[in-house]
């Protein structure tokens, strides 16, 4: 009964390839997020969707494209992978539109992407 689940857990691929990471939440939350954690553990938001509507789109290369087929799913597709894309990508969700005292973030366990 995992609340926020991501697949795959590990992803090893070569430069130039295209890959996708899937995320699903069974908490009934309205908002989902993608965060990137670099090798120094710094957490940075990439995107957020509220009921399938994009509400936060940080300065992320166009090679990254989120897709939300419904409010329980948020996938991340990455084109033309580069070495610098290697990181851990976390999906998260929150009950309402923002992250707040009544709407805390719930994170998945991450997808470790390694680009060789």
Partner 1 sequence: QQQVKQSPQSLIVQKGGISIINCAYENTAFDYFPWYQQFPGKGPALLIAIRPDVSEKKEGRFTISFNKSAKQFSLHIMDSQPGDSATYFCAATTQGGSEKLVFGKGTKLTVNP
The answer to whether residue 56 forms part of the interface with partner 1 (CB under 8 A) is yes
Q: Is 73 exposed, middle or buried (0-12, 13-18, 19+ CB in 10 A)?
A: middle
> What DSSP state is assigned to residue 102?
T
State in angstroms the smallest separation of the CB of 18 from partner 1. Answer: 25
Name residues whose C-beta falls within 8 Å of residue 7's C-beta, 6 or more positions apart in sequence.
Answer: 21, 22, 111
Report how far apart the first and last C-alpha atoms of the chain are (Å, whole number): 34
The piece of 19-27, 51-59, 61-69, 75-83 that touches partner 1 (CB under 8 A) is 51-59
Answer for which of 18, 44, 51, 67 binds partner 1 (CB under 8 A) is 44
The answer to whether residue 61 forms part of the interface with partner 1 (CB under 8 A) is no
State in angstroms the smallest separation of the CB of 46 from partner 1. Answer: 10
Between vectors from CA 99 to CA 26 and to CA 43, what angle results, nearest 5°?
Answer: 90
Residues near partner 1 (CB under 8 A) are: 4, 40-45, 48, 55-56, 58, 90, 92, 97-101, 104-110
């Amino acid at each position: 009964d995992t609340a926020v689940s991501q697949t795959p857990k590990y992803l090893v691929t070569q430069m130039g390839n295209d890959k996708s990471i899937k995320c699903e939440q069974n908490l009934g939350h309205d908002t989902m997020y993608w965060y990137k954690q670099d090798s120094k553990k710094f957490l940075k938001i990439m995107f957020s969707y509220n009921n399938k509507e994009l509400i936060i789109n940080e300065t992320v290369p166009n090679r990254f494209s989120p897709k939300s087929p419904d409010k329980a799913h948020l996938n991340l597709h990455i084109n033309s992978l580069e070495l610098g894309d290697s990181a851990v990508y976390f999906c998260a969700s929150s009950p309402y539109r923002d992250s707040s005292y009544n709407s805390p973030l719930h994170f998945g366990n991450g997808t470790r992407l390694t680009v060789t």
